[in-house]
Amino acid sequence: MTISVFSLNRRRFVQGAGLTAASMMLGGLPEAYAQTKGGTVVIGHTTLRHLNPAIQSGQATGIPGTQIFAGLTQLNDKFEAQPYLAKSWEVSPDGLTYTFHLEENAVFHDGKPITSEDVAFSLDVVKANHPFGKPMFGTVKAVETPDAKTARFVLERPHPALMSALSPLLLPILPKHVYGEGDIRENPANLKPVGSGPFKFSEYRPGEVLVLDRNENFFRPGRPYLDRLIFRITQDPVVNVLGLERGDINYLPFALVRVSDIDRLKANENLTVTTDGYEAFGATNYLEFNLRHAPLDDVRVRKAIAHAVDKDFIQNKILAGHAKRLDGPLTESSPFYSAESLKKYELDLEKAKALLDEAGHPVKDGGMRFSLTLEWLPDANINSQQPVAQYLKAQLRQIGIDIVLRPNPDFGSFATRIGNWEHQLTMNGIWNYPDPVIGVNRAYLSTNQKKGAIFTNTEGYVNPRVDELMIAAGGESDPAKRKELYAEFQAILTDELPLLWTNEEPLFTLYDKKLQGLPLTVWGALAPYDEMHWA
Partner 1 sequence: MVPVSALARNLLTSIVTVLAVIVFNFTLIHLAPGDPVTVMVGEMGGGDPELITRLQQQYGLDRPFAEQLFTYVLSVLTGDLGFSFYYNMPVLDLILQRLPATLLLVVSALCLAIVIGTALGVVAAQRPRGILSHLITVISIAGFSAPVFWVGIVLIIGLASALPIFPTSGMRDVTNIGAGIWGDTVDVAYHLVLPAFTLATVYLAQYSRLARSSMLEVLSADYVRTARAKGLPERLVVYKHALRNAVLPVVTIAGLQFGQVVAGAVLVETVFAWPGLGRLAYESILRRDSPTMLGILLFSAVIVIVANIVTDMVYRMIDPRIGARA
Residue 428 CB, shortest distance to partner 1, in Å, is: 12
Helix (H) or strand (E) holding 208: none
Residue 452 CB, shortest distance to partner 1, in Å, is: 6
Contact, 224 vs 529, CB < 8 A?
A: yes
- Residues 6 or more apart whose CB falls under 8 angstroms from that of 468 comprise none
Between residues 379 and 402, which has the closer beta carbon with respect to partner 1? 379
Residue 61 CB, shortest distance to partner 1, in Å, is: 9
Q: Positive or negative, the Cα torsion across 36, 37, 40, 46?
A: positive
Between residues 391 and 501, which has the closer beta carbon with respect to partner 1? 501
Between residues 95 and 138, which has the closer beta carbon with respect to partner 1? 138
Residue 453 CB, shortest distance to partner 1, in Å, is: 4
Residue 448 CB, shortest distance to partner 1, in Å, is: 8
Between residues 425 and 430, which has the closer beta carbon with respect to partner 1? 430
How would you class 430 by CB atoms within 10 Å of its CB: exposed for 0-12, middle for 13-18, buried for 19 or more? buried
Contact, 106 vs 113, CB < 8 A?
A: yes
Between residues 36 and 390, which has the closer beta carbon with respect to partner 1? 36
Q: What are phi and psi of 23, to 5 degrees?
A: -70, -30
What CA–CA distance (Å, rounded) separates 499 from 231?
A: 37
Residue 248 CB, shortest distance to partner 1, in Å, is: 7
Contact, 155 vs 96, CB < 8 A?
A: yes
Residue 415 CB, shortest distance to partner 1, in Å, is: 4
Comparing C-alpha atoms, which of 241, 261, 265 is closest to residue 252?
A: 241
Residue 95 CB, shortest distance to partner 1, in Å, is: 25
Contact, 392 vs 361, CB < 8 A?
A: no
Between residues 83 and 243, which has the closer beta carbon with respect to partner 1? 243
Residue 127 CB, shortest distance to partner 1, in Å, is: 11
Between residues 47 and 105, which has the closer beta carbon with respect to partner 1? 47
Between residues 52 and 315, which has the closer beta carbon with respect to partner 1? 52
Helices (H), 317-364: 349-358
Between residues 16 and 206, which has the closer beta carbon with respect to partner 1? 206
CB crowding 178-211: b at 16 or more within 10 Å, else e? bbeeeebeebebbeebbbbbbbbbeebeeeeebb
How would you class 390 by CB atoms within 10 Å of its CB: exposed for 0-12, middle for 13-18, buried for 19 or more? middle
Between residues 78 and 246, which has the closer beta carbon with respect to partner 1? 246
- Decide: helix, strand or coil at residue 250: coil
Residue 438 CB, shortest distance to partner 1, in Å, is: 10
What CA–CA distance (Å, rounded) separates 180 from 54?
A: 13
What CA–CA distance (Å, rounded) separates 45 from 64?
A: 9
- Residues 6 or more apart whose CB falls under 8 angstroms from that of 141 comprise 154, 155, 156
Residue 417 CB, shortest distance to partner 1, in Å, is: 7
Residues that bind partner 1 (CB under 8 A): 40, 42, 47, 49-50, 56-58, 129-134, 185-186, 190-191, 203, 205-209, 211, 230, 232-236, 238-239, 242-243, 245-246, 248, 410-413, 415-417, 419, 430-431, 442, 448, 450-456
Contact, 479 vs 95, CB < 8 A?
A: no
Between residues 347 and 453, which has the closer beta carbon with respect to partner 1? 453
What CA–CA distance (Å, rounded) separates 306 from 313?
A: 13
What CA–CA distance (Å, rounded) separates 422 from 418?
A: 6
Between residues 144 and 261, which has the closer beta carbon with respect to partner 1? 261
Which residues on neighbouring strands pair with residue 201, listed in sequence order? Answer: 212
Give ∠ CA 195-185-108 in degrees, rounded to 5: 10
Residue 433 CB, shortest distance to partner 1, in Å, is: 9
What CA–CA distance (Å, rounded) separates 309 from 500?
A: 10
Residue 131 CB, shortest distance to partner 1, in Å, is: 2
- Residues 6 or more apart whose CB falls under 8 angstroms from that of 109 comprise 68, 194, 195, 196, 200, 201, 215, 217
Between residues 154 and 271, which has the closer beta carbon with respect to partner 1? 271
